[in-house]
Structure 1
Amino acid sequence: MALMKSQTSVFIKLLFITHCFAQDYDFFYFVQQWPGSYCDTSSSCCYPTTGKPASDFGIHGLWPNYNDGTYPSNCDSSNPYDESQISDLISRMQQEWPTLACPSSNGSKFWSHEWEKHGTCSESVLDQHSYFQTTLNLKDQIDLLQILESAGIQADGNSYNLSSIQTAIENAVGYAPWIECNSDASGNIQLYQVYFCVDAWGTDLIKCPVFPTGTCASSIKFPSFDYSGNSFI
């Protein structure tokens, strides 16, 4: 009888551990953002204190999601952003994950938001360092600007067919992306963000179980990133 009680106790503990550490999401959205479209809006933008970012897609985030289109957020207030845990990644993050929000900052507030809102919901799989490193590695894996330029789609202020942009990316990475648009200061619809789906471990691209809501126009502008102060040059 004592043995049976002991075995039952061990079984309950194992169930508890499995429940606590199993990931509570189905996949990630990995989102890249075009800085020219972020800045070319009525609200404008501010360069980070480290200087103007490169004319390249930057990381917005790595966001856990459920297959039904909902998502978890702010999952663990006891595990706040701690920059000392990612000190070896800061240089890469300044280049590949810059902030364009105003007022100008060094990026820490942006990264803190991404970790505390999204990263803490994946901490059973990715600790804080792994979360940021995994996201940076995904950016290196998907050279989005090169993919588009190879298909003749340039950040030159011209408009391109949305279907051509989607096809170029799908042909390069193997899976259809989701494109998010915004409006420039004149009301033109433009390429803003590109969503990829990644497995729950953050390692492999997958077919998206569900896309976010919203639509773009059939023809969208791809603005240059020639922004200086409060105006484009």
Structure 2
Amino acid sequence: MQKRQILVVVVVLAGVSLVVSDEDVKPLDFYKYSLQWPPSACMQPPPGKKCEVRHEARFTIHGYWPQYNKDTPVPPYCDDLRCTNTKPTSANDVVKILKDSPLKKELMKDWPNLYARQIKKEEDNLEFWKYEWRKHGMCSDDANKPSKYFIFRDTLTLLPNFKNLRRDLGFKPRSKVGDILKNLRDNKYKVPQIVCNSESQLREIRFCYRNNRNKAIDCPNWVGSRTCNTKTADIILPGGAGGTDAVNYNFNHDGANYIKLV
């Protein structure tokens, strides 16, 4: 009987240790809202992946990522419990919530796994969202409210703000990075972070928000890749506005030269 009581105490203490006090929480500074351009992402997919579906040429969501001061990514919850003072919803429970969500189809359209297998499209999308939650969502301000993180307050809700983004980027043949940044500034956008693939094609564009979600801010570092890293560098939007390049998906690329996704 005594051993059983000791075991119960240990289990209870272990559960308590998962909740960090307010004093111990390391405060988040801002979020990166990353939008990806499927033609560029499909040109250089990760190793072992390919785009089985020809995605339309429009921006879709890659993720919503909490950052510490000085543009330091918040580690996954399993590596740093100080990111939140609440016990996060588990990744497996998030899969159940999203699988039964009436907005699942909207998520698959606007926050898709670009490399989902056609015969297992729903399963692969759920795995993608599970990964994003485990790596980023569990350390967000909505660590125990995944519906807010994915849908109601954050990621899907922000997307309409960028309905004219492709036009506002103002791509033309032989555009330079500095031209694109100026076009965005002229159209009242805050400074984003630019990410290109190795072919100088815009792969992702990341916008930054303070913790209250409503205040867009300049990203502290507009360079996000080894290419397109100077304002005089060439930048291309394949299949995009301005006819800079034809859409040319590579469905069988081995991904040897891809730029790693966050």
TM-score normalized by the length of structure 1? 0.74
Shift of the alpha carbon at 1:138? 1.3
The answer for the alignment partner of 2:32 in structure 1 is: 29
Partner residue of 2:133 out of 92, 115, 125: 115
The answer for the alignment partner of 2:235 in structure 1 is: 220
The answer for the alignment partner of 1:149 in structure 2 is: 167
Deviations 1:106-160 (A, max 9, x none): 31111111111000001457720100111111112122xx333256426xxx542
Structure with greater strand percent: 1
Matched, 1:18 2:22: yes
**Secondary structure in 1 aligned to 2:131?**
helix
Q: 1:109 to 1:151 in 2, by over 3 A?
A: closer
Instruction: Note the 1:194-213 alignment, pairs <5 A.
Output: 194-211=205-222
Amino acid at match of 2:36: Q
Amino acid at match of 2:236: K
Q: 1:173 to 1:142 in 2, by over 3 A?
A: farther
Matched, 1:192 2:203: yes
Distance 1:88 1:169 in 2: 34
Check the 8 A contact 1:28/1:63 in 2, yes or no: yes
Matched, 1:100 2:114: yes
**Secondary structure in 2 aligned to 1:100?**
coil
Instruction: Note the 1:38-117 alignment, pairs <5 A.
Output: 38-41=41-44, 45-47=50-52, 52-75=54-77, 79-81=90-92, 82-86=94-98, 87-101=101-115, 103-104=117-118, 105-106=121-122, 107-117=125-135
Distance 1:78 1:132 in 2: 13
**Secondary structure in 1 aligned to 2:28?**
coil
Identity of aligned residues (%): 27
**Secondary structure in 2 aligned to 1:88?**
coil
Q: 1:220 to 1:98 in 2, by over 3 A?
A: same
Shift of the alpha carbon at 1:171? 2.6
Deviations 1:168-208 (A, max 9, x none): 2233343111111112xxxx321111011011132321122
The answer for the alignment partner of 1:11 in structure 2 is: none
Matched, 1:135 2:170: no
Instruction: Note the 1:161-200 alignment, pairs <5 A.
Output: 161-183=176-198, 188-200=199-211
Amino acid at match of 2:22: T
Shift of the alpha carbon at 1:229? 4.6
Aligned residues: 203
Unmatched tracts of structure 1, length 5 or more: 1-15
Shift of the alpha carbon at 1:213? 5.0
Q: 1:115 to 1:212 in 2, by over 3 A?
A: farther
